[in-house]
Chain A
């Protein structure tokens, strides 16, 4: 469910060159077309989707680098193991 939502957010806001369904968890999203600015939109859309807020300490390029790192960050914020 979490991964499906992350992929849906990436499709809507990530500016990826291809649908997120075709990406593996560890694929580099920046290499797949996501820009730094698109990562801002992805972050805000994830906040809406999961009812969380990304604190400053998670605002690194690494946090939004892969589906797996996004899932890990959301796990930290929601208290649910990734």
Chain B
């Protein structure tokens, strides 16, 4: 017979979801484009990001992608010495319109070491601000296992 209990603990080593968020003013990005032009765009965004954001609202959409890159950095929980070029975190729009992140180079290596295969993104824009949330569920590795749950999950 199947029994359920409110006290049932999750599996001891269940990976915890990783969440990162960031918010970015669109006008700051516009100022950077105005001041540094192509150099700024080429250093921060990939050709695909620029292609997928093309149109009258491109600055808003690029601001969202910058916020998403920062959110992904928070998901990866990196030390300040970690070398992460902005282009190594690419925010793509899927065929269903839902954004996700694709990592390359050192960012991909660091994600792999943490058991992170996929990072989903949610973007929103309002009042001159772009915000992003990034989320990932690491597969079980030595770095991601839950270590502060006691042996039987009892919370007494």
Where the two chains meet, the residues of A that have a C-beta atom closer than 8 Å to any C-beta of B are 36-38, 40-41, 43-44, 47, 56-62, 65
Contacts and interface: CB of A to CB of B under 8 A. Distances in A.
Interface of B: 24, 28-29, 32, 35-36, 39-40, 43-44, 66, 70, 73, 80-86, 105
17 contacts: A37-B29, A37-B32, A41-B32, A41-B36, A41-B40, A43-B43, A44-B36, A44-B40, A44-B43, A56-B105, A58-B83, A59-B84, A59-B85, A60-B80, A60-B82, A62-B80, A62-B81
Given A44-B43, A58-B83, A61-B81, 8 more contacts: A37-B32, A37-B66, A41-B36, A44-B40, A56-B105, A57-B83, A59-B84, A60-B80
A38 B61 CA distance: 18
Contacts of A57: 83
B32 A40 contact: yes
B140 to A, nearest CB: 28
B80 A40 contact: no
A51 to B, nearest CB: 13
Looking at chain A's contact residues, is the secondary structure mostly helix, strand, loop, or mixed?
A: helix
Contacts of B70: 36
Given A37-B32, A37-B66, A41-B32, A61 B40 contact: no
Nearest to A38: B28
Nearest to A30: B80
Contacts of B24: 37
B110 to A, nearest CB: 12
Q: Which of B70, B82, B85 has the most CB of A within 10 A?
A: B85
A40 B86 contact: yes
B28 A37 contact: yes
B83 A59 contact: yes
B117 to A, nearest CB: 23
A62 B83 CA distance: 9
A82 to B, nearest CB: 18
Contacts of A65: 80
Contacts of B82: 60-61
A56 B39 CA distance: 14
